[in-house]
Homo-oligomer: A and B are copies of this chain.
Amino acid sequence: MHLQSVEVSQSPEEKFREYLASRPRAQRFTEQQRDMVNYIFSKHNHFDADSLIEDMKREGFQVSRATIYRTLNKLVDAGLLRRLDVGPRMYYEHDYGYPQHEHLVCQRCHKMIEFQSPAIEDVVRDVCRDHLFHFEGHSFVIRGVCNECNRARMTKSRLDLV
């Protein structure tokens, strides 16, 4: 179901501490931040700020909306999370320890399916070279309806005919 993880030498928590310590003015590592990093990296999910808040609260963690947003931004800066700018809200996913990939997004159930494509990496490299464009990142999203939702729809329309 998931793509294969990449070898990493530090835990996400260690990597985040290192990032915080390396800032021009050292930033602090708090309990809530530690809980967030560990919670996020204990799962492999695409998530948004709201569902993270809801899930962590349900599991008994102390989290506030403002701190979630602030820490998510730091985690993106630190290279631990990737931001997926798809639709009206931001989604996040593991960056650290997880390979570059692209997404299929189902417009009915909002599931995200990951896939890897060397061909796309090639296109990115060639296009940036041709345009003397300094690459910083890319996002590739295919929108549509996943197999399950499609089957549900077909079953329903067959029933409608009866």
Enumerate chain A interface residues (CB-CB to B < 8 A).
85-87, 102, 104, 106-107, 113, 115, 117, 119-120, 122-124, 127-128, 130-147, 150
Residues of B within 8 A of A137 (CB): 142-144
Complex CA–CA separation, A128 to B102 (angstroms): 12
Cβ 8 A contact of A135, one of B117, B119, B135, B142: B142
Question: Do B136 and A144 touch (CB < 8 A)?
Answer: yes
Chain B min CB distance to A106 (Å):
8
Interface centre among A102, A106, A107, A123 (most CB of B within 10 A): A123
Q: Which residue of B lies closest to A113 (CB)?
A: B131
**In the complex, chain B residues whose CB is within 8 Å of the CB of A102:** 127
